[in-house]
Each structure stands twice: as structure tokens, then as C-alpha cells.
Amino acid sequence: MENTNVPTEKKGNIEDLVAWQKAKELAVTAYKLVGSINLDAVIKDKLIHSALEVSYSVARSYGVKQRAQSLENLYEARECIFEFKTAMAIGVDLGYISHDQSAEVQPLVDHTDKLVSGLIQYKEDARKGKVRPKSNNYRGGNDNGNSVAADNFGNTIDYASSPVSNF
């Protein structure tokens, strides 16, 4: 008799996860930014390390089976986003990074933060047994008809383009 209680593998690849794609893009952008300016070594290391750690943590969250460990990795990714934001702000305040350079990177940082926050929200809801209905009646729609809602962190998440399809 065949064992039917074997856990199923996740479908898709990490490369399909939008949050991972954006986190990786943030790491590449951080490397390019750091390479293009004269920057203090400590701030340089923090920018690179935190940006890399965001993508690594998202990847680790995808690779584990236990929801609690996956959530822990996603929270680590979010912590690293805040570390990156702090290092950027300090670099700007010290004059190493221009306001224009910071403004150029900020939309990517914010988008990555929203995607990671969306994954956290999804995992938290699943942990609490909340089921997301397929209907858009669950959330208010925005001007273009997409389903949007605020997460636990005050971010507005567009669930129509949510990164959680693989989770």
C-alpha cells in the first residue's frame, strides 16, 4: 500500500518568486552604487551585506518546509531591508551618497520591502488559519480595479500581483 501522507514538493522555482527577483536586483544595485562612489568601508560593507542578506533570506524562506522557519527567514530579510535603509541614510547624511543616488534606489528598496512584507503577511495569515478568498470582495479595490489591502506593517499590498503564488 502506498503512503499518501508524503509532503508534496513546492511547485516552481525560486527564480519565479518576485520578492526574490527584486531582492536580487537590490543586491546588484547596491554593488553598482558602492562601486561608483567613494564610500566609507563600514557603510560600504553594511550596504553590500544587508542587500545580499535580503535575497539570501528570501531564498532560505522558500527552501524550508516548516512555516515557522520560513517566517523567521522572511523577518530576517525585512530586518536587512531596514539595515540597508539606515546605511543609505547615514551615507547621505555624511555626504558619501547624493540625494539623487538615494532617490534612484529608494523605489526598489520600497518595492522589495512591500514584497517581503506581503510574503510575511501571507505566511502569518496561513499560520493563523486564515484563508484568502478568490473573490476581490475581500479587499477594497483601487482605481485600476486591483485588490489591495494594508499589511501588519502599514504597507499597502497589491495581492493581484502578489509574490506569494509559489507559497
Q: pLDDT tens digit string along 12-31?
A: 688 889 999 999 999 999 99
Instruction: Note whether residue 43 is domain-resident.
Output: yes
Q: What pLDDT is recorded for position 137?
A: 44
Instruction: Note whether residue 99 is domain-resident.
Output: yes
Q: What pLDDT is recorded for position 39?
A: 86
**All cell numbers assigned to 63:** 527552501
Instruction: Note whether residue 3 is domain-resident.
Output: no
Q: How far apart are CA 130 and CA 122, in angstroms?
A: 9
Instruction: Look up residue 157 and give its amino acid.
Output: I
Instruction: Look up residue 53 and give its amino acid.
Output: E
Query: Given CA atoms 156, 118, 11, 15 in this order, what sign does their dihedral have?
Result: positive
Q: How far is CA 135 from CA 14, 142, 158, in A?
A: 27, 15, 14
Instruction: Give residue 56's domain range.
Output: 14-129+141-162
CATH of the domain at 154: 1.20.1440.60
- pLDDT means per 10 residues in the chain (167 residues)? 43 85 96 90 95 96 88 96 97 94 96 95 84 51 50 51 46
Looking at the structure of the chain, the number of domains it has is: 1
Instruction: Note whether residue 6 is domain-resident.
Output: no
Instruction: Note whether residue 136 is domain-resident.
Output: no
Instruction: Note whether residue 7 is domain-resident.
Output: no
Instruction: Note whether residue 135 is domain-resident.
Output: no
Q: What pLDDT is recorded for position 95?
A: 94
Instruction: Note whether residue 2 is domain-resident.
Output: no
- What torsion, rounded to 10 degrees, do the Cα atoms 122, 123, 126, 132 define? 10
Q: What pLDDT is recorded for position 67?
A: 84
Q: What pLDDT is recorded for position 2?
A: 46
